[in-house]
Amino acid sequence: MNILIAGGGGQLGRELERLLEEKEPSFCGGGGVFALGRRELDICDRAAVLSFCRENKIGAVFNCAAYTDVNAAESQEEAAYAVNALGAENLALAMEEARGILVHVSTDYVFDGKKTSPYTESDPCAPLGAYGRTKLAGERLVLSALPSAAVLRTAWLYGREGKNFVNTVLRVAGEKGEMRVVSDQFGTPTFTQDLARHMLTAAREGLSGIFHATCKGSCSWFDLACETVRLAGLKARILPCTTEEYPTPAARPKNSVLENARLSALGLDAFRPWEEALRARFSLL
C-alpha cells in the first residue's frame, strides 16, 4: 500500500513520516510513503490530487495539511476554507475513488469554549472564528464524501520542530528573558509524536467518524509556558495575563479541553498525560 502524507513538510507530517520509517515500516506492507508539502502537491487542486493518487496507487492518506494561522484566517477566510475544507474534501474524494483510507486532522476550535467541562465528540459545535468554521466545514465535507474516514480532533499541537507555542516560548523567553502569557484559556497540549501514533491506530483499526485525540489532563497557556521554561532550564520570567489584556484578531475559546471519549470506549486511548509528553519532547532533542 502506498501512503500519502499531505502536509508532509509540517511538524505533524514530519513526525508521522519519521514514525513510519523508524518504528512502523511494516505498516506500508512494502509500499512507499509520499510525504508532500504544498509545492509538491497542492491539495486545493482537485484534478492534481485525483491524478496523483491514481498514478501512484495511493491506498491511504493522512491529512496533516492545514491553514493554521488563526489570526490571519479572520481576514483570509476564503484562503483558509480552500485548504481546510475544499482541500480536505479533495483528499476524501480521491480515497472514495480508490476505496482507500483517510485519516483527517481537525481541531478543538470547532467549539466556543463556553462549556465548563471537557468536550466530547457528541457536543454541539459552535466555532468562534474563521479558522474553526473552516475546519468544521472540512470535517463535514470529508465525512460526506467518505463516511469511512476518521476525523481526529486535536488541540494545542506542538512538535520538536516547526512553528508552535512551545518553540515560540523557547525562542522569546530565551531572547528576552521575560514574556506575558494568557492564563485564563485552558486546553490540552498534545505532542505530535502521540498524535501520529494514534493516526496510525485509526488507520489500522479502520476507525470512522469523529474522535477526540489529545494528551491527558489540561492546563492554561501560562502553565504550559512555565513548564516549558522549567524543562529547558531557562532563567526567564513568565508573567500571567488575561485574554482581555492580550487581545488578538481572532477570539479563542476559554475552554477547549477535549475528552477522548470514543477512543477510550474502544480501548484505544494510549495518550500520555501532557506533562509526560512534554518531558519526552525535550528528551528526544
Q: How confident is the model at residue 285 (pLDDT cuts 50, 70, 90)?
A: low
Options 81, 109, 119, 131, the catalytic residue? 131
Which residue, 256, 269, 273, 255, is CA-closest to 211?
Answer: 269
Q: Residue range 29-40: average pLDDT?
A: 91
Any idea which fold 2-163+188-217+256-272 has?
A: Rossmann fold (3.40.50)
Q: What percent of the chain has pLDDT over 70?
A: 100
Q: Residue range 97-112: average pLDDT?
A: 98
Q: Residue range 102-130: average pLDDT?
A: 98
Helix/strand/coil (H, E, C) string of 97-134? HHCCEEEEEEEHHHCCCCCCCCECCCCCCCCCCHHHHH
Q: Residue range 44-58: average pLDDT?
A: 97
- List, for residues 8-24, the tens digit of each pLDDT value: 999 999 999 999 988 88
pLDDT of res. 25: 81
**Active site annotation includes 131:** yes
Domain ranges of the chain: 2-163+188-217+256-272
Biggest CA pair distance of the chain: 55
